[in-house]
Amino acid sequence: MLESIRRGGADGALRDRVRTGSEGAGPQGSPEACVDGSARVEGAGSSSRSVRSKGAPHPAEGTRWTPREARSLLAFAEAMIPGGGRVERADERTLAMLEDVVEHSFPQLTKVIGKAAQVFDHLAIVRTGRRFRDLDAPAQERVLAGWEADPVLRAPLMALQFAFKFAHFDRERVYAKLGGKLNVVQALEQPRWLEQVVRADTWTDGDVDCEVVVVGTGAGGAVVGRELADRGYAVVFVEEGELRRRDEFTGSSHKAHRDFYRGGMSVGNTVMPVFIGRMVGGSTAVNGGTCFRTPGPVLDRWCDEIGTDEFTRERMAPYFDRVEEVLQVQPASRQHVGRIADVFQRGCDALGWSHFTINRNAPGCEGSGFCDFGCRTDARRSTNISYVPPALEKGSMLFTGLTAERLILEKGRAVGIEGRTHSGKTIKVRGRAVVFAGGAVPTPFFLLKHGLCNRSGQVGRNLTLHPSGGLSALFDEQIRGFEAIPQGYGCDEHVRDGILLTAAQPDFNYAPILFPFTGQRLMEAMNALEHIASFGVLISDESKGRIAFDVGGAATMFYNLTQGDADRLHRGIVAMGEICWAAGAKKFWPAVLGKNVIDNRGDWKRFKERRLAPSECLVTSYHPLGTCKMGKDPRTSVVDLDHQAHEVPGLYIVDGSVVPGPLGVNPQLTIMAMSTRAAHRIADHLG
């Protein structure tokens, strides 16, 4: 028997009528235990690893790698992270953590990594006459440095480096020895809105009726859901991930990427990790809280390309005002931005460049943790704090752990979704409107998988990624960026050229990834971390990728960085380097493969004059956009200006996939403002 959710009032009286049974009620449970640095990796899901540093016959015991693969992997782990000073050497426990990390974040790479290690092990014979694992430490270091400069080998080598660093430095003992401390929260508050949260696997009351089904709870879905709930509509949120609260935001990189992220990477002339939130709050719950309005010239471009005045600065302003009010957007506290602001100020003032304190949705933030692993204090008003709870207080429901598997159609109109729980149970949620807000990768993948909305051929096309590179610089003074807001200050002098420069201050367990090298060079940098300032370079990309299926049927991002984008990234790194030189830097490390350190003006001049190849750029992405094109013409676009799919009435797409990228700035506020506007349009359609 269908349970009905009727239109409720602002007093939330609907709450008592949303669920007829009590089985699914209550807050989310505790997470699995974090890896504690011991030899056995616990809480990893389907199995535990037993790779041990003592007493094991070989490092492959209990793993999916063969003994030969594991011996090769161990040789590379020990060479890449040889230990020294405060840094512990990699060992078999690093391999155990590596396997767990890859299995949960990039499962398609588990077997590839083992095979790649064996290939590299034998490639060393070409240079030295011996396998890599048979070389002494200095020889291994020389071989690694040579491979970093090799145009063919540097990309796969960098993938191995990334994996080892990611795994090793998040081991609790390694992290603690560097100075890190995991967060522990006790006596967590239990607000009433938690009664409206149901883990889908516990639901026993059958299918659900409502007025609006919202798939996703990030910058798109949460905003639409709250705005419609505020207008009295009965809303049911469907979220694939779980509700994670601040007691789970321990600061562990491994736990964050296992439990909070959807791992992915783009494939092309450079390998780019693409990080997307998978939890209540989506990516808003694991970002830096940075809030930029869409630049005026970008809005002008939208209007020109689409042929409309719907997105002029004046017409979008009320939506930005609304979002900024809900998020309590304000400039970051200079005190908690930290000493990196002084670096920006000294350098930019010497060059005559503009610099600024970044606006954030985190009133009261004191820089108490690395934002990308979840806010330990709930200071950041991500949508799991600012939008979802108010909607639930109005009587909306939230199913967690429920993946939308099928769109329910009647006479060609979307009337609901069929979801699948982790245990395989199905739940149907029906409504007068269905809002898909999974993000710029999951949404087009769902449509392509089911052959929906793609007569135009634009589903999955037009992918932009905002590739982000960076640079780290050594100063005489202490910077101690790990004690400050990660992204609180920036330089906007070059935004018109598609280059945004910001602070990018990591915690101890993430900092190694910023350095494009390993071995003793990495140990030197990690032991000087208190004096190192790290910066991000975000570019407005001209590259256009696409979402498609790989041979295993998984969603894959195909994306080639153009030479123009590589040039833009190079200009950004050079600009950031000029700021650092002017501010008194002694040396710096650009995020460029094969270029380790610059510590004199001669090297700097040569770096400025060279041209980077796309394959040399060490880049990551947090901002996929544009894969479900918006437009007036069904022949050339996926959704109309009201976000409704041209081919499926009642289906609305409201997330980063409809944002015509790139923006050149962090897109959170843009998506939320567009979602506020979309909620108004959906309400008009519903009447």
484/444 same-domain check: no
Q: How confident is the model at residue 42 (pLDDT cuts 50, 70, 90)?
A: very low
- Confidence band for 76, pLDDT divided at 50, 70 and 90: very high
Please report whether residue 54 resides in a domain.
Answer: no
- The verdict on 215 and 351 lying in the same domain is no
For 40, counting Cβ atoms within 10 Å of its Cβ (0-12 exposed, 13-18 middle, 19+ buried), the class is middle
The pLDDT score that the predictor gives to residue 26 is 36
404-432 burial by CB neighbour count: b if 16+ within 10 A, else e?
A: beebbbeeeebbbbbbbbeeeeebbbbbb
pLDDT of res. 294? 98
Report whether 569 contacts 592 (CB < 8 A).
Answer: no
pLDDT of 109 higher than 80: no
Place 108 in a pLDDT band, splitting at 50, 70 and 90.
low
In the predicted structure, residue 198 carries a pLDDT above the cut 80: yes
Q: How far apart are CA 320 and CA 322, in angstroms?
A: 5
pLDDT one-digit tens code per residue, 222-246: 999 999 999 999 999 999 999 999 9
Indicate whether 626 belongs to any domain: no
Residues 346 and 386 in one domain: no
Query: Based on C-alpha coordinates, what's the Rg of the chain?
Result: 25
Query: Coil, helix or strand for 617?
Result: strand
Q: What is the pLDDT of residue 245?
A: 94
Judgement on whether residues 111 and 168 belong to the same structural domain of the protein: yes
- Do 95 and 159 sit in the same domain of this protein? yes
Separation between Cα atoms, residue 153 and residue 666, nearest integer Å: 32
Q: Read off the pLDDT band of 365 (50, 70, 90).
A: very high
- The answer to whether the peptide bond before residue 662 is cis (omega within 30 degrees of 0) is yes
CB 82, CB 138: distance < 8 Å: no
- Residue 676 located in a structural domain: yes
481/290 Cα distance (integer angstroms): 17
Q: Are residues 297 and 437 in the same domain?
A: yes
Highest-scoring range by mean pLDDT, 11-20, 38-47, 437-446: 437-446
| Domain assignment of residue 56, yes or no | no
The stretch 426-438 carries a mean pLDDT of 98
Question: What pLDDT, on a 0 to 100 scale, did the predictor assign at position 270?
Answer: 87
pTM: 0.89
Residue 60 has pLDDT above 70, yes or no: no
What's the rounded mean pLDDT across residues 154-161?
A: 86
What is the DSSP track for 488-515? -EEE-TTGGGTEEEEE----TTTGGGGS
Rounded CA-CA distance 355/340 in Å is: 12
Q: Is 117 a domain residue?
A: yes
Strands 426-430 and 413-421 turn out to be antiparallel
What's the pLDDT score for residue 515? 92
Q: Any idea what the CATH number is for the domain that residue 512 is in?
A: 3.30.410
- Is the same domain home to 594 and 608? yes
Instruction: Check pLDDT > 60 for residue 520.
Output: yes
Shared domain for 479 and 536, answered yes or no, is yes
Tell me: do 225 and 146 sit in the same domain. no
Between 152-161, 473-482, 548-557, 629-638, the lowest mean confidence (pLDDT) is in 548-557
Q: What's the CATH code of the domain at 408?
A: 3.50.50.60
User: What percent of the chain is predicted at pLDDT more than 70?
Assistant: 90
Please give the average per-residue pLDDT across 430-458, as a whole number.
97
Task: Specify the 3-state DSSP secondary structure of 132.
Answer: helix
∠ CA 347-331-342 to the nearest 5 degrees? 20
Contacts of 325 (CB under 8 A, 6+ apart): none
Tokens of 643: 């976000």
319 and 340: one domain?
no
Lowest average pLDDT, out of 175-184, 341-350, 467-476, 550-559, goes to: 550-559
Average pLDDT, the chain: 89
Identify the residue whose tokens are 């002029």.
312
Are 130 and 172 in the same domain? yes
Can you give the pLDDT at residue 4? 40
Does the residue 169 lie in any domain?
yes
List pLDDT tens digits, range 135-145: 999 999 999 99
Could you give the CA distance from residue 410 to residue 263 in angstroms, rounded to a whole number?
Answer: 34
Give 243-299 pLDDT, tens digit per residue.
999 999 999 998 998 899 987 889 898 889 899 999 999 999 999 999 999 999 999
Does any domain span residue 38?
A: no
Q: Of 2-11, 263-272, 458-467, 675-684, where does mean pLDDT reach its minimum? A: 2-11
Q: What is the rounded average pLDDT of the residues 6-14?
A: 37
**Which residues make Cβ contacts (< 8 Å) with residue 437, sequence separation at least 6?**
214, 215, 216, 217, 218, 220, 221, 222, 224, 443, 653, 654, 655, 675
What pLDDT does 105 receive? 67
**What's residue 20's pLDDT?**
30
**87-91, 235-239, 612-616: least confident range:** 612-616
pLDDT surpasses 70 at 355: yes
Picking from 149, 178, 207, the residue at the C-terminal end of a domain is 178
Contacts of 51 (CB under 8 A, 6+ apart): 39, 41, 59, 60, 61, 62, 63, 70, 92, 93, 95, 96, 99
Give residue 16's domain range: 1-24+199-260+292-328+382-453+655-687
Share of the chain above pLDDT 90, in %: 78
Which tokens belong to 628? 């479900």
Domain count, the chain: 3
Q: What is the pLDDT of residue 55?
A: 40
End residue of a domain, out of 178, 212, 244: 178
Is residue 57 a part of any domain in this protein? no
Same domain, 425 and 348: no
Q: Which domain-ending residue is among 178, 209, 232?
A: 178
